[in-house]
Amino acid sequence: MADASPSLISLLGIERTFLLGDSKVHALRDVNLQITPGEYIAVMGPSGSGKSTLLNMIGLLDRPDAGTYLLENRDVTTLEPDELAKVRSERIGFIFQSFHLVPRLTAAANIELPLILSGMPAGERSKRVAQALKEYGLNERANHRPNELSGGQRQRVAIARATILRPAVLLADEPTGNLDRATGEEVVRLLEALNAQGMTLIVVTHDQALGARAKRQIRMEDGAVVSDVMNSTGTHP
């Protein structure tokens, strides 16, 4: 990673504390991170170490109590809520452990959601959705509701939904946590393929083997980044 690389994400002295009753929980302490476009990062660490909080911060679902966050060289800590929503819609893709599919909507309708929210006209939407269904091998399942899909299929729908607007960053919080090993493997390969196409990928995981596949590994403990290493044995050169 040369210093000349343009910065995608720049976190400077990020602090985040939560109030739990009377006690303060320091979820993020003085986090400093530089992330360039196209990186593949695994965030690891024990439960409660602040991994999800970090991901939510990067995904603009949360605001830091202190510090600066530059996304594509733009200070996003001061943006209005509607501007944040627009940035989330256009630049960020979320993937969750529990998939978060809308149960009453079909696979196709779930994938279509970000397009609808962005105000895209119906004609353009159906083209994009058809394309995504094909790419993720979900053609047969297009009109099935989430409860009629397997775990792997659900996560594929969620990935298709997260990437349909071609975000710059894909944030996956334990994406394989609810899947068996083989299915999890399949999902990770899918994410890695997206990373290979240039999408920045940040994955939170408990799985050492999975984490080892990433080019860069960040370890967190008690809200602080305790190690940040480049892995020469990453799957991607």
Partner 1 sequence: MLLKDSARFAFHAINAHRMRSFLTLLGIAVGIAAVILLTSIGEGVHQFVLSEFTQFGTNVIGIAPGKVKTGGQPPSGIPTTARLLTMEDAQSLKQLPQVTAASPMVWGNSEVEGNGRLRRSTIYGVDADFTHVFSAKVQIGSSLPREGEGSSRAFVVLGSKLRNELFGNKNPLGARVRIGGLHFRVIGVMAPKGQFLGIDLDDTAYIPAQRAMELYNREGLTKIHVIYAEGASSTTVAEAVRKRLTLRHGHEDFTITTQEDMLNTLSNILDVLTMAVGALGGISLLVGGVGIVTIMTISVAERTNEVGLLMALGARRSTVLGLFLSESVILAAVGGAFGLLLGAGLAQTLRFALPKLPVHTPWSFAVGAILMSAVIGLLAGVMPARSAARLDPIEALRAE
Ligand X SMILES: Nc1ncnc2c1ncn2[C@@H]1O[C@H](COP(=O)(O)OP(=O)(O)O)[C@@H](O)[C@H]1O
Residues lying near partner 1 in the complex (CB under 8 A): 56, 59, 61-62, 81-82, 85-86, 88-90, 92, 94, 96, 100, 102, 104-105, 113-114, 116-119, 121-122, 161
Which amino acid, residue 233?
A: T
- Nearer of residues 155 and 217 to partner 1, judged by Cβ: 155
d(CA 180, CA 68): 38
Longest CA–CA span in the chain (Å) reads: 53
Nearest by Cα to 38 from 213, 235, 194, 186:
194
Q: What is the dihedral of CA 83, 129, 180, 202, to 10 degrees?
A: -30
- Nearer of residues 90 and 230 to partner 1, judged by Cβ: 90
- Nearer of residues 106 and 217 to Mg ion, judged by Cβ: 217
Query: Judged by CB under 6 A, which of 1, 7, 18, 193 binds ligand X?
Result: 18
Query: Judged by CB under 6 A, which of 11, 27, 158, 160 binds ligand X?
Result: 27
Residue 31 C-beta: closest distance to ligand X, Å: 11
Quote the tokens at residue 101. Answer: 């599919």
Choose one: 40-48, 100-108, 130-138, 147-155; the region binding ligand X (CB under 6 A).
40-48
Which amino acid, residue 93?
A: G
Give the CA angle between residues 157, 163, 169 to the nearest 5°: 135
Query: Judged by CB under 6 A, which of 39, 40, 50, 170 binds ligand X?
Result: 50
The answer to whether the CB of 200 falls within 8 A of the CB of 168 is yes
- Nearer of residues 52 and 155 to ligand X, judged by Cβ: 52
Q: Which does 119 bind (CB under 5 to 8 A by kind): ligand X, partner 1, Mg ion, none?
A: partner 1
Query: Scanning residues 48 to 67, which ones bind Mg ion (CB under 5 A)?
Result: 52
According to DSSP, the residues that pair with 35 across neighbouring strands are: 9
The answer to whether the CB of 216 falls within 8 A of the CB of 230 is yes
Binding site for Mg ion (CB under 5 A): 52
